[in-house]
Structure 1
C-alpha cells in the first residue's frame, strides 16, 4: 500500500532509515557506522522539516522548510549511493530506499514549485 501523505511517507522513511542504521551497527564496520550515522541524520531530518513547515509563519517560511527537507533528501540519497558503491551494503539493501528517496525528492520539489506558483499568483492579485 502506497502512502500519499508526505508527512506520513517521510515518517515511514525515517523508520526504514533507523532499521538500516541498526543493520549497519551489527556489521561493525567503521566506515559503515560513520556513513550510516550521516544517513540517519539526514533521513530523519526530512520529515522533521516537513512537520515544522506545517506551522510555518508564512508561505515563504513553508517553502524554506520544504527546501531544507529537499536538501536533506538529496543528502540522504548521496549517503545511500555511497553505502552501495562502497559495497558496505548490497544493492538489495539499498534499492528500495534509493527509489523511495528519489520519489520523496520529486514530491517535495512539486510541493515547492506549486507553493511558489501560488505565492506569485497571490502577489499578482494584490
Structure 2
C-alpha cells in the first residue's frame, strides 16, 4: 500500500500532535489521567485505520474503521474537556479539534461507502 492515502496521512500527523500534547500535559501541567486517555485514543485512530487498509475482508475493513471512528469520538471528548478546563490554550485545542473532526468526517464517509459496497 504505497499510494497516497489522505486518511492515513492525516491520522499519522494527528497522532504526532497527540504525542506532543501528551508530553506537554505530563511535563508542563503535571497531568497524568487525561493525558493517558488522550494518547491512547488519539494514537489508536491511525493505528486502526492503517490496520483497516490491510484488512483481509470487507467486514474486517469495516470493523477496524468503526473502531477508528469510536477512538476519534473519544479523542474529540478529551480535547473538548482539555479546552473547557484550560489545560490547553483554546486556539491550540480548537486547531487539534478541527483536525480530529476532519478525520471523523473522512472515516464516516469511508464507512458509508464500504457498507454500501458490501451490500
**TM-score, normalization: structure 2?**
0.91
Deviations along 1:18-59, one digit per CA (max 9) or x if unpaired, are: 111111122243xx3210110011000000001111121210
Alignment length (residue pairs): 116
**Greater Rg over alpha carbons, structure:** 1
1:19 aligned partner: 20
Structure 1 residue runs without a partner (length 5+): 121-126
Question: For residues 73 and 79 of structure 2, what CA distance do their matches in structure 1 show?
Answer: 10
1:81 Cα offset (Å)? 0.6
2:71 aligned partner: 72
Contact 2:65 2:111 in 1 (8 A): yes
Question: For residues 24 and 58 of structure 1, what CA distance do their matches in structure 2 show?
Answer: 39
Q: Helix, strand or coil for the counterpart of 2:32?
A: helix
Comparing 85-94 with 102-111, which one deviates more in the overlay? 85-94
Give the superposed CA RMSD: 1.4
1:4 Cα offset (Å)? 6.3
Deviations along 1:86-116, one digit per CA (max 9) or x if unpaired, are: 1111202211110011111010000000111
Map of 1:40-51 to 2, 5 A cutoff?
Answer: 40-51=39-50
Map of 1:31-42 to 2, 5 A cutoff?
Answer: 32-42=31-41
Contact 2:29 2:87 in 1 (8 A): no
2:111 aligned partner: 112
2:11 aligned partner: 10
